[in-house]
Amino acid sequence: DAGVIQSPRHEVTEMGQEVTLRCKPISGHNSLFWYRQTMMRGLELLIYFNNNVPIDDSGMPEDRFSAKMPNASFSTLKIQPSEPRDSAVYFCASSLAGHQETQYFGPGTRLLVL
């Protein structure tokens, strides 16, 4: 069974550019989470979805960040415009509904904004 798939694995972009991160959750999982990991702030929950519906986006830093889940097998996290302080590793995780504490993480996207 494939785990959570994220793309790209690495992204280098310039300040002001749009960045789109992609995630494919484990088949059958109906909860999806986006996290950001930095040295300064550790692991932060940005947003999570249940059955493709955003449930809690209180962790999204500001309006430059948006996330969508158009279907059960795909989600995107978009940053527009990107800034150097957005540099981090972004993780996607999925779980079965009702078992949100047992999350399966993807390998992450390492983003560097110059």
Partner 1 sequence: GNSVTQMEGPVTLSEEAFLTINCTYTATGYPSLFWYVQYPGEGLQLLLKATKADDKGSNKGFEATYRKETTSFHLEKGSVQVSDSAVYFCALSSGSARQLTFGSGTQLTVLP
> Cα–Cα distance between 53 and 43 in angstroms, integer?
22
Q: Which is nearer to partner 1, 74 or 104 (CB)?
A: 104
> Cα–Cα distance between 69 and 20 in angstroms, integer?
13
CB 104, min distance to partner 1, A: 8
CB 93, min distance to partner 1, A: 7
CB 16, min distance to partner 1, A: 29
Contact residues toward partner 1 (CB under 8 A) are 4, 42-43, 45, 48, 55-56, 91, 93, 98-108
